[in-house]
């Protein structure tokens, strides 16, 4: 779990929170009668319904291209990469269709690059196993790595500038537990810092090349500039890095996946500068965030300026280090994101918002409701004031966030906020939330317009409005 120190000022606020909880209220006026304060439906949720109704699905011709017809063997030992890619090219040249991996283990010593109007179908009983040698994932491709554009090792499944594409089937996509990529976490720091500096300084994209001799792990599955994407039903194991990564993607559905991958930085789904996205009915067991929304890092993200917006995440079973997150790469803005009816199991933070003083960017109009939460170190954690690693002074802005209708078994800390002094967290509401067991109700630094409406922590009710700046 992530560990962090708490300054004395924050600890005093934690104590104040305990005292206020014991008194039954926070100092300040109670919510006005009627409207949202009395349980009226937040009208912003009407937008969530419209997003779900209007997310477009891919249109793919009903033609089949079985990889065995192009020489694939499926014995788990023979390299089937070229045969699989031959099937993809044949489908593409025919105007599109379904590339089928039937039952068997299909070894691919290299990445699968998808084209428009292709459905990569991993059938029941099929296992798409990727080779362990990083050299097979060269030459470099245009990608985004932790929010900064660069040229790097190809994602294991990669689709750039495509439309109407899907990955379906109840089979398994396996990054390979023996992959050399998995050892790179301990070797990457120099490259990470170099790339971040390049993005912060605005060095040309063509100079950001991290191929042979570098150690930045690729995503498992990445769509980079896509329209109408469906990811459905498959299982993912042993991802080298982020797992299902949507970059600059418009109209995407991520449904019924099983993600069981526990390596470093194994986010289940990363919605990255993408719009009109539905993530539903998935099961996540991950080494990092289950679902995270991002929009680019520092100057590179601000210059590209593509927000993530109109995102709905609902009916998922989440278990990982963190449940849901926004940031820390959020320099291109995040807005109109809805998390509805999710179950969160256990970990460090159930809901985590991250940023630092290099970022800039605004996160706003976020709604979270109907959560069942089991056991986390922190229920809701805002860490927005990390010092800029590169000397920036661009405080991130987080505002207009509503959390409502939660039942929580246990959270050592219910609410923790560390906002920048110059850009406090503002306009946050916690409504109809019950936490059965919590050692520390709240730790607060730099927050304005914090509203409690029927917040019950360890049997004590907290109501009212609070500024702490």
pLDDT digits (tens, 9 = 90+) for 378-402: 999 999 987 678 888 898 999 999 9
Q: Report residue 20's pLDDT band, with 50, 70 and 90 as the boundaries.
A: very low
Nearest to 220 by CA among 279, 273, 264, 170: 264
- Across the range 229-234, mean pLDDT stands at 99
Q: Can you tell me the distance from the alpha carbon of 313 to that of 88, in angstroms, rounded to the nearest whole number?
A: 31
The residues pairing with 435 across neighbouring beta strands, listed in sequence order, are: 408, 457
254: tokens are: 């991520």
- Across the range 236-259, mean pLDDT stands at 98
Provide the pLDDT for residue 385.
83
CA 350 to chain centroid, in Å, comes to: 13
With contact defined as beta carbons under 8 Å apart, do 262 and 288 qualify?
no
Q: Can you tell me the distance from the alpha carbon of 218 to that of 71, in angstroms, rounded to the nearest whole number?
A: 27
Q: Is the pLDDT score of 11 beyond 50?
A: no
Q: Can you tell me the distance from the alpha carbon of 157 to that of 110, in angstroms, rounded to the nearest whole number?
A: 9
φ, ψ at 81 (rounded to 5°): -55, -50
The HSE-up count of residue 70 (CA atoms within 13 Å, CB side) is 22
What is the number of other CB atoms lying within 10 angstroms of the CB of residue 374?
16
DSSP 47-85: HHHHHHHHPPPP---S-EEEGGGGT---EEEEE-HHHHH
Let me know if 456 is exposed, middle or buried by CB neighbors in 10 A (0-12, 13-18, 19+). Answer: middle
The chain-wide mean pLDDT, for the chain, equals 92
- Across the range 276-292, mean pLDDT stands at 97
Q: Which helix (H) or strand (E) holds 226?
A: strand 221-232
End-to-end Cα, the chain, rounded Å: 28
More reliable by pLDDT, 200 or 14: 200
Provide the pLDDT for residue 5.
43
Provide the pLDDT for residue 36.
53
Nearest to 67 by CA among 86, 94, 41, 47: 86
The residues pairing with 235 across neighbouring beta strands, listed in sequence order, are: 172, 258
- Across the range 4-31, mean pLDDT stands at 42
187: tokens are: 């070797």
Residue with tokens 């990889």: 67
More reliable by pLDDT, 53 or 19: 53
- For 47-77, the pLDDT digits (tens) are 999 999 999 999 999 999 999 999 999 999 9
- For 419-456, the pLDDT digits (tens) are 988 889 999 999 999 999 999 999 999 999 999 999 99
Q: Can you tell me the distance from the alpha carbon of 267 to that of 287, in angstroms, rounded to the nearest whole number?
A: 7
- Across the range 21-32, mean pLDDT stands at 38
Let me know if 436 is exposed, middle or buried by CB neighbors in 10 A (0-12, 13-18, 19+). Answer: middle
Provide the pLDDT for residue 391.
84
- The b/e string for 295-309 (b: 16+ C-beta within 10 A; e otherwise) is bbbbbbbbebebbbb
Q: Can you tell me the distance from the alpha carbon of 84 to that of 72, in angstroms, rounded to the nearest whole number?
A: 7
Q: Can you tell me the distance from the alpha carbon of 83 to that of 414, in angstroms, rounded to the nearest whole number?
A: 53
Q: Can you tell me the distance from the alpha carbon of 372 to that of 105, in angstroms, rounded to the nearest whole number?
A: 38
Give CA torsion, residues 16, 17, 22, 27, to 10 deg: 80
- For 327-377, the pLDDT digits (tens) are 999 999 999 999 999 999 999 999 999 888 899 999 999 999 999 999 999
With contact defined as beta carbons under 8 Å apart, do 127 and 105 qualify?
yes
Nearest to 252 by CA among 236, 285, 274, 269: 274
User: CA 170 → CA 167, 173, 177, 236, 374, distances in Å?
Assistant: 10, 10, 20, 10, 28
């Amino acid at each position: 779990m992530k560990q962090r120190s708490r300054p004395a000022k924050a600890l005093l606020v934690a104590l104040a929170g305990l005292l206020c909880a014991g008194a039954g209220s926070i100092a300040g006026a109670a919510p006005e009668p009627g409207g949202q304060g009395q349980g009226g439906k937040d009208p912003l949720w009407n937008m969530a319904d419209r997003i779900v109704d209007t997310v477009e699905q891919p249109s793919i011709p009903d033609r089949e291209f079985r990889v065995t017809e192009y020489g694939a063997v499926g014995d788990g030992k023979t390299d089937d990469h070229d045969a699989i890619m031959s099937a993809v090219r044949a489908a593409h040249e025919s105007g599109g269709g379904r590339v089928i991996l039937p039952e068997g283990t299909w070894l691919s010593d290299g990445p699968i690059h998808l084209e428009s109007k292709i459905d990569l179908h991993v059938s029941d009983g099929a296992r798409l196993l990727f080779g362990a040698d990083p050299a097979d994932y060269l030459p470099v491709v245009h990608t985004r790595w932790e929010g900064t554009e660069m040229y790097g090792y190809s994602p294991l499944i990669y689709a750039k500038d495509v439309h109407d594409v899907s990955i379906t089937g109840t089979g398994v996509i396996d990054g390979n537990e023996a992959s050399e990529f998995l050892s790179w976490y301990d070797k990457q720091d120099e490259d990470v810092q170099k790339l971040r500096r390049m993005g912060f300084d605005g060095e040309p994209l063509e100079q950001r090349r991290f191929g042979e001799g570098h150690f930045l792990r690729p995503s498992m599955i990445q769509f980079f500039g896509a329209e109408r994407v469906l990811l459905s039903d498959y299982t993912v194991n042993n991802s080298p890095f982020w797992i299902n990564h949507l970059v600059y993607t418009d109209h995407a559905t991520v449904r019924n996946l099983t993600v069981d991958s526990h390596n470093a930085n194994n986010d289940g789904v990363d919605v990255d500068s993408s719009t009109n996205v539905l993530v539903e009915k998935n099961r996540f067991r991950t080494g990092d965030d289950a679902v995270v929304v991002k929009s680019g890092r520092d100057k590179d993200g601000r210059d590209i300026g593509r927000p993530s917006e109109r995102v709905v995440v609902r009916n998922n079973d989440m278990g990982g280090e963190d449940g849901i997150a926004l940031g820390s790469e959020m320099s291109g803005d995040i807005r109109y994101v809805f998390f509805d009816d999710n179950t969160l199991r256990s970990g460090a933070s159930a809901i985590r918002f991250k940023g630092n003083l290099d970022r800039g960017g605004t996160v706003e109009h976020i709604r979270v409701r109907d959560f069942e939460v089991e056991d986390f170190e922190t229920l809701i954690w805002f860490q927005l004031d990390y010092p800029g690693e590169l000397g920036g002074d661009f405080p991130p802005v987080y505002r207009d966030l509503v959390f409502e209708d939660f039942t929580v078994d246990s959270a050592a800390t219910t609410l923790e906020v560390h906002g920048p002094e110059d850009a406090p967290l503002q306009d946050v509401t916690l409504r109809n939330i019950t936490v059965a067991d919590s050692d520390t109700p709240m730790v607060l630094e730099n927050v304005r317009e914090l509203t409690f409406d029927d917040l019950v922590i360890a049997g004590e009710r907290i109501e009212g409005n609070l500024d702490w700046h």
